Structure 1
């Protein structure tokens, strides 16, 4: 009896996870034609089409849907078995790429310090920061990322969580703005201004709006942008007020601190809002991996050191 080619297992896992030949090829670093040939081999091996055309997209067959989770678990177990079993971590010779899924603000505020911290003791380690357009635990479950960093969402009961730091929102305006230098900024002062807000969703309503509503006030949203860098740029060039996390301002040299001349002025919000908890999250399969445990400790240390200033 001919043994199956076990190399096909990884390709099958990625194809079923992506649901796309092009997406699977990108993840595996192959050409689309090479991935198509691999799919043909998988079809011949399993006796099932696996992926079929539905309009302009590809969809999984019922059999492919049935084996998807089992394939993922088997592929993850195979990867675990083929890793070095030694529990002794030799950082100077550790050669590994860790994938951290986070938003741009986290990378701007903590990325450089984190890279330097890791490189100082593990020069062969690479940190890959992946974009985070939405909250999802699927990347952790599928083994596509090592750490998910951000505000906790509905990640599922099995996902491990550790608080990195607590954040809060600040108001930011350009130097020379009517609010600059006010001894006391009232909620009415704040609400009377135009505002630029950051949102990747349709809704722009948040805790600040709830707090203002309790006082019978509401903000006038003049602009909505997808990121905090864009919000700061607009605030710097207009009379709009930006709402920015305090941690994001760590990376902004144009923000006034301790009387240093700058282009932006920061103030505490005139209404109380709850703190934001920023966490790192990982899948249980990585819990006791020495390298992963070391990475988590470095992330925690850098974040807390940077936030303390």
Structure 2
């Protein structure tokens, strides 16, 4: 394997054109620098510097190498140099955020406003999260993800809680159930939308209802919160959705407490550990936490 330290030695030798001058710059003895030159001649198969009177002159091969070695050495120094302080005003970068539907509509506007004010050169791309597959985070296709941590979450991912959420029932604003408290009887008499999805889903709603001796009457089955709430706006159907997560989708609709107990849950932010030390990524994580912490309160 080549000794990469020889690149720095070669760069200084070709720059100085003198063994003594190169030795002084590298804080080496003249004899040590002479040995380094001998090693470089052996590796390159070229004399590199030859005697011309009382000085040394570069060979054609040395002149060719001088144009190649300098940028390589400078690039290596840049890689090993300590990271400079993050300047958000000059940051130009795109981040990809993946979340279940409703998160972008609820928290996206405030997050975009903060990003635009602090780092106008940053672009956010929001993706809908169809599953709990960790490959997009692992392979760098996604920078941040939100969701519920469970047995299916990849163990190597970093995570921090964003907010607590709970399930609520939702009807249109002029629905009869919007006029007063919803009882177990009125809840059961109505027709419901069943939401089938991975991660946050309404299967646990039926499990909790059955545990309380109740059974929902399902009128239709859909695959997401957005579709369910769209149907609610123009029908007498009830949708059961996460309260805070879907706040941006529920404008103009009426939310109510369920007439049976369902365990609350925590929405977390996830990222790959290789991004821990990335200052720009850390800044974005802080913004997401701040935006979620500033959200509205849950129903009393």
Give the TM-score category using the shorter length: 0.5 to 0.7
Instruction: Please give the alpha-carbon distance, in whole angstroms, between the structure 2 residues aligned to 1:123 and 1:220.
Output: 50
- Aligned residue for 2:176, secondary structure, equals coil
Which residue pairs with 1:70 in the alignment? none
Equivalent residue runs for 1:118-197 within 5 Å: 118-153=115-150, 154-182=152-180, 184-197=181-194
Q: Which residue of 2 aligns with 1:306?
A: 295
Q: How many residues align?
A: 219
Deviation at 1:87, TM superposition (A): 4.2
Q: 2:147 and 2:162 mapped to 1: Cα distance? A: 9
Q: Which residue, 92, 97, 100 being the options, matches 1:95? A: 92
3-state SS of 1:176 partner: coil
Paired residues of 2:244 and 2:296 also in contact (CA < 8 A): yes
Tell me the C-alpha RMSD between the 2 structures. Answer: 2.4
Verify: 1:269 aligned to 2:258, yes or no. yes
Q: In the alignment, is residue 284 of structure 1 matched against residue 273 of structure 2?
A: yes
The structure that has the greater radius of gyration is 2
1:188, CA displacement in angstroms?
2.5
- SS at 1:271 equivalent: coil
Distance in 2 separating the partners of 1:162 and 1:120: 25
> What's the CA shift for 1:131?
2.3
Q: Which runs of no fewer than 5 residues in structure 1 stay unpaired?
A: 1-80, 256-263
CA deviations 1:92-125 (Å, max 9, x no partner) are: 0011111111122111111111111111010101
Q: Give me the whole-angstrom Cα distance separating, in 2, the residues matched to 1:246 and 1:101.
A: 19
- SS of structure 1 residue aligned to 2:117: helix
Match of 1:226 among 214, 218, 223: 223
Per-residue deviation at 1:302?
A: 0.7
Alpha-carbon distance in 2 for matches of 1:239, 1:97:
42
| 2:191–2:216 contact (8 Å) kept in structure 1 | yes
Cα distance in 1 between the residues matched to 2:88 and 2:214: 55
> Residue by residue, what CA displacement relative to the aligned partner does 1:262-293 show, whole Å, maximum 9, x if unpaired?
xx322111111111211110111001111111
Counterpart secondary structure, 1:89: coil
* Aligned equivalents of 1:90, 1:124: Cα separation in 2: 11
Mapped to 2, the partners of 1:83 and 1:249 lie a distance apart of 45
Q: Which of 221, 224, 239 is matched with 2:236 structurally?
A: 239
C-alpha contact (below 8 Å) 2:188/2:214 kept by paired residues: yes
Rounded Cα–Cα distance in structure 2 between residues aligned with 1:87 and 1:280 = 27
- Residue 195 of structure 1 contacts residue 221 of structure 1 at CA under 8 Å; is this kept in 2? yes
Distance 1:242 1:269 in 2: 11
> Conserved in 2, the CA contact under 8 Å of 1:193 and 1:241?
yes
Deviation at 1:248, TM superposition (A): 4.0
SS at match of 1:180: helix
* Structure 2 gaps, min length 5: 1-77
TM-score normalised by length of structure 1:
0.65
